[in-house]
Structure 1
Amino acid sequence: MDKIKVLFKNNIRQYGMGIALISIIIFFQLITGGILMKPLNVTNLILQNSYILVLAVGMFLCILTGNIDLSVGSVAAFVGAISAILSIQLKVPVIPTIFLSLLVGAIIGAWQGYWIAYVRIPPFIVTLAGMLVFRGLTMVILKGQTIAPFPESYQIISSGFIPDILSSGELHITTLVIGVILSIIYIGLEMQKRKNTLKYDFEVLSRPLFIAKLGVTVGMVNLFTYWLASYKGIPTVLILLAALILIYGFVTNKTVAGRHVYAFGGNEKAAKLSGVKTNRVLFWVYVNMSVLSALAGIVFAGRLNAATPKAGVNFELDAIAACYIGGASASGGIGTVYGCIIGGLIMGVLNNGMSILGVSIDWQQAIKGFVLLMAVAFDVYTKNKAKK
Structure 2
Amino acid sequence: MADLSKMFRANIRQYGMLVALILIMLLFQVLTDGILLKPLNVTNLILQNSYILVLAIGMVLVIITGHIDLSVGSVAAFVGAISAILMVDMQMSPWIAVPISLAVGALIGAWQGFWIAYVKIPSFIVTLAGMLLFRGATMIVLEGQSISPFPSGFQKISTGFLPDFLGGATMHNATLALGVVLSVILIFSELRNRRIQKKYEFEVMPIGFLIAKLAAMIAVLNAFTYILANYEGIPNILIILFVLVIVYTFVMKKTVMGRHIYALGGNEKAAGLSGVKTKRVTFWVFVNMGVLAALSGLIYAARLGAATPKAGNLFELDAIAACFIGGASAYGGVGTVIGAIIGGLVMGVMNNGMSLVGLGIDWQQGIKGLVLLLAVGFDIYNKNKSS
Normalised to the residue count of structure 1, the TM-score between the two structures is 0.99
Per the alignment, in what secondary structure is the counterpart of residue 75 of structure 1? helix
- List runs of 5+ in structure 2 lacking aligned partners: none
Could you say which residue in structure 2 is the equivalent of 1:9?
9
Alpha-carbon shift at residue 158 of structure 1 (Å): 1.1
Could you say which residue in structure 1 is the equivalent of 2:311?
311
Map residues 1-388 of structure 1 onto 2, 5 A cutoff: 1-387=1-387
* Total equivalences in the alignment: 387
1:188-212: CA deviation from partner (whole Å, max 9, x where unpaired): 1111111222223332222221111
1:206-233: CA deviation from partner (whole Å, max 9, x where unpaired): 2221111111111110000001100000
Normalised to the residue count of structure 2, the TM-score between the two structures is 0.99
1: CA distance, partners of 2:200 / 2:261: 28
Per the alignment, in what secondary structure is the counterpart of residue 294 of structure 1? helix
Structure 1: which 4+ aligned runs deviate by more than 3 Å? Answer: none
2: CA distance, partners of 1:191 / 1:116: 42
1: CA distance, partners of 2:249 / 2:82: 30
Alpha-carbon shift at residue 67 of structure 1 (Å): 1.0
1: CA distance, partners of 2:168 / 2:186: 28
Per the alignment, in what secondary structure is the counterpart of residue 291 of structure 1? helix
2: CA distance, partners of 1:255 / 1:207: 28
Alpha-carbon shift at residue 252 of structure 1 (Å): 0.6
Alpha-carbon shift at residue 337 of structure 1 (Å): 0.5
The one-letter amino acid paired with 1:202 is: F
Per the alignment, in what secondary structure is the counterpart of residue 55 of structure 1? helix
2: CA distance, partners of 1:274 / 1:208: 40
1: CA distance, partners of 2:137 / 2:3: 56
2: CA distance, partners of 1:88 / 1:115: 34
2: CA distance, partners of 1:149 / 1:308: 11
The one-letter amino acid paired with 2:23 is: S
1: CA distance, partners of 2:205 / 2:71: 43
Q: CA RMSD in A?
A: 0.7
2: CA distance, partners of 1:89 / 1:230: 38
Alpha-carbon shift at residue 14 of structure 1 (Å): 1.1
1:239-294: CA deviation from partner (whole Å, max 9, x where unpaired): 00011101110001110001001000000001001111111011001111011000
1: CA distance, partners of 2:7 / 2:297: 39
2: CA distance, partners of 1:254 / 1:247: 10
1: CA distance, partners of 2:11 / 2:323: 16
2: CA distance, partners of 1:74 / 1:58: 15
1: CA distance, partners of 2:66 / 2:23: 30
1: CA distance, partners of 2:170 / 2:259: 46
1: CA distance, partners of 2:8 / 2:109: 38
1: CA distance, partners of 2:193 / 2:86: 47
2: CA distance, partners of 1:218 / 1:258: 28
The one-letter amino acid paired with 1:74 is: S
2: CA distance, partners of 1:35 / 1:161: 22
2: CA distance, partners of 1:127 / 1:308: 21
Per the alignment, in what secondary structure is the counterpart of residue 232 of structure 1? coil
The one-letter amino acid paired with 2:25 is: I
The one-letter amino acid paired with 1:143 is: E
The one-letter amino acid paired with 1:347 is: M
How high is the sequence identity, in percent, across the aligned residues?
63
2: CA distance, partners of 1:224 / 1:280: 40
1: CA distance, partners of 2:304 / 2:292: 18
- List runs of 5+ in structure 1 lacking aligned partners: none
2: CA distance, partners of 1:258 / 1:273: 18
The one-letter amino acid paired with 1:117 is: A
1:287-312: CA deviation from partner (whole Å, max 9, x where unpaired): 11011000000000000111000000
2: CA distance, partners of 1:158 / 1:344: 18
1:121-155: CA deviation from partner (whole Å, max 9, x where unpaired): 11111100100010001000100001111111001
The one-letter amino acid paired with 1:4 is: L
2: CA distance, partners of 1:203 / 1:278: 32
The one-letter amino acid paired with 2:194 is: R
